[in-house]
Every structure is written in structure tokens, then in C-alpha cells.
Amino acid sequence: MPSLNVAGASSSEEGVQAFEQDALMGEFSYFEASGIQATLNSLSKWLVTALFCSILLLRHDAVSLWAAIGSVTNVMLSTALKKILNQERPTLALKSDPGMPSSHAQSIFYTITFLNMSMVEWYGLNGVTTTICGLFFTLGSFFSWLRVSQRFHTISQVLVGAVLGSIFCILWFWSWKYFVLNFFASYVWVRIVVVVGSVTFSVGFIYHVIQSWILKER
């Protein structure tokens, strides 16, 4: 009888150890995944900015200047809406400023929409471009979802930001095609305004990057 008790105790201890090991492995996997997601989230703004600048350099046309102005205007719109709506971020969020809409999602989908529109403009709408546009959309959705997984925003704040960024980009280029382009081609002063405006907005954005993305994160 004592031997049976010893065997039972040994089996119980092994079960507890196995449970503890599984719990530790699960906790390790969670923190490992969380760390990867946190890293990707912190890199997302740099990746999206680099992608947007690459498109501008690749296009190097008047539309690029208009797109640069639009990207900064899009950020300004998001900042203004945050102050007007004044909706709190999720509980335990690392930031205390208003979270509606998500400026990250709004900027990401402005860039993704601009990229997809440029792709269709250059190569037309076909199976290849549709697939590539779908991949870019998926990538933008993933980076936007990281704002939720890292508890910077709620799902609704990210969705609103994504929709606003997409719609604003479409309307911005609609205004170029059906309104600004005619004046740009006809009047020198309009061309000067667009060029100077794009340079000014770009310099302002670089200043914002240095102040908010570099100095504040040290």
C-alpha cells in the first residue's frame, strides 16, 4: 500500500510539473509574440513613411507634390478630429490623448490607397494589379490592427481612421484630377503655390518626425 501512495504522489508531481511547464511555455510564447508585435508596431510608421516617400520618388511628377500636401493635410485632419471628438483610448493605454480616429490607421490607409491608385493608373486593372493591391491592403490592415493588439486604440477608432484615410485620399486625388490640374496646367502661380506648398508641408513633416518620433522616444 505505501508503494502505491508513492507512485500516486510521483505521478501527481509529474502532472503538476508538466502543467507548470506548459503554462511557462504558453506565457513565454505570449510575451514573445507580444514583443514582436510591439516591435512591428513601433516600426510601422517608419515603414509606411518610407513606402510613401518611395512612391513619391518613383512618380516624381506633379501628382507627387499634391500627394505630399495631401498626406500632411490628412494628418492635420486626424489631429483636429481627435480634439473635436475627444474620445478616450482603451483602458490601460500608454497614451492619454484622445484616440478617435487612429492617426496611424488614417495615415496608413491614405498611403495604401495612394499606392493602389498609382498601381492601377500605371498598369491598369488586371489580375496581377488586383493581387498586389490586395496584398498592400492586407499589409495596411495588419499594421492598423497592431494599434488594437497593443492597446493604443479601440477597434472602432482604427476602423474610422482607416475609412477616413481611404476616403480622404480618393477625394484629394479627385480634386486634383477634376479641379486643380486644369489650373496647374494653365497658370504659373498655381504651379508655384503647389511646389512651395509641398516643400513647406514636407519640411513641416520632417520637423514633426524629429520632434515626435525621435526626440520624444529617447
Q: Does residue 9 carry a pLDDT above 90?
A: no
Top pLDDT among 1 and 65 is at 65
Q: What is the mean pLDDT of the segment spanning 121-137?
A: 89
Q: Does residue 52 carry a pLDDT above 90?
A: no
Q: How confident is the model at residue 69 (pLDDT cuts 50, 70, 90)?
A: confident
* Distance in angstroms (rounded) separating the CA atoms of residues 139 and 17: 41
* Distance in angstroms (rounded) separating the CA atoms of residues 29 and 198: 46
Q: What is the mean pLDDT of the segment spanning 202-218?
A: 62
Q: What is the mean pLDDT of the segment spanning 175-182?
A: 88
Residue 134 confidence (pLDDT) = 92
Global confidence as pTM: 0.74
Is 199 among the domain residues? yes
Is 118 among the domain residues? yes
Q: How confident is the model at residue 30 (pLDDT cuts 50, 70, 90)?
A: very low
* Distance in angstroms (rounded) separating the CA atoms of residues 14 and 26: 18
Is 31 among the domain residues? no
Q: Domain count of the chain?
A: 1
Is 29 among the domain residues? no
Is 10 among the domain residues? no
Is 9 among the domain residues? no
Q: Does residue 64 carry a pLDDT above 90?
A: no
* Distance in angstroms (rounded) separating the CA atoms of residues 73 and 42: 23
Residue 22 confidence (pLDDT) = 47
Q: Which residues contact 87 (CB under 8 A, 6 or more apart)?
A: 98, 99, 100, 157
Domain, as residue range, for 209? 44-215
Is 119 among the domain residues? yes
Is 20 among the domain residues? no
